[in-house]
Amino acid sequence: MSSVHTANLSDSDAMPPPRIWRIWGVDFDARIVQLVVVTTLLLIVAFNDRFVSQAYDRFFLEFLIPVALIVIVWRENPRRYGLALGDWRLGLPITILGIAAMAIVIWFMSRQPDFQQYYTQDIAGRPAWRLVIDTAVDIFAWEFFCRGWLLWGLGRKYGSDAVWLQVIPFALMHVWKPQIEQLSTVLGGAFFGILAWRTGSIVYGWLLHTFMVAWILLLAAGAI
């Protein structure tokens, strides 16, 4: 198994040995069981229920609850799960280049009828500044959930193969969006996963992903 990037944590933050749960005569890594069960339940609730608004519901469900589990139950440092600057010398240039490239790609994609139909209804009369803030909050939750909580939680057991495992829920979180965007999530999710793995941080994926979503919303709203 490949080694897990430790995001420059000290020895005092070393990963504890796995705890084993025996269920019906079968041994499981307790943390993987908790990770999969909690992840699945949170995704179901996020899909079916609305409490405040989509962005802030996700922030509670997909960020605050996993962080609480990491700190209170697992007694780990959340920085291990991508909540750090990590390797900014690698992450920042990739983010800047990604923003430049995706600005052009999304400009053309936003002209497609299915994109205009989907994202126009997603605007819900919000002003441009509110679209950007809501998007930043929403995408922070997404990035932590997939490239923090899942990537590093699964990476503890499966190493860098966790990059591909987190692609599955990430892609499924896009099933109601335009088909071309759905298909792009396979390689896009892998790219964001590798970026987080290499840098030890969700920050750079969050910045790029936030730009992508906010840009298409602003284009759909006619604010640009």
Q: What local confidence, expressed as pLDDT, does residue 9 receive?
A: 45
Where would I find the H helices in 65-178?
65-68, 88-109, 113-123, 128-144, 151-158, 162-165, 167-172
Phi-psi domain of 177 (left: phi exceeds 0; alpha: psi -120 through 50; beta: other): beta
Q: What local confidence, expressed as pLDDT, does residue 3 receive?
A: 45
Profile the chain (224 residues) by mean pLDDT over runs of 10 residues. Answer: 46 64 91 95 89 88 96 95 97 97 91 80 80 94 97 94 96 87 93 98 98 90 65
Q: What local confidence, expressed as pLDDT, does residue 16 receive?
A: 65
Collect all residues with Cβ–Cβ distance below 8 Å to 182 and sequence separation of at least 6.
Answer: 171, 174, 175
Q: What local confidence, expressed as pLDDT, does residue 223 receive?
A: 59
The 10s digit of each residue's pLDDT in 18-56 is 788 889 999 999 999 999 999 999 999 988 877 888 889
Q: What local confidence, expressed as pLDDT, does residue 14 receive?
A: 54
The 10s digit of each residue's pLDDT in 92-115 is 999 999 999 999 999 988 888 878
Residue 47, burial from CB neighbour count under 10 angstroms (0-12, 13-18, 19+)? exposed
Collect all residues with Cβ–Cβ distance below 8 Å to 213 and sequence separation of at least 6.
Answer: 135, 138, 139
Q: What local confidence, expressed as pLDDT, does residue 47 receive?
A: 86
Q: What local confidence, expressed as pLDDT, does residue 117 receive?
A: 79
Q: What local confidence, expressed as pLDDT, does residue 30 receive?
A: 92
Q: What is the pTM of this model?
A: 0.88
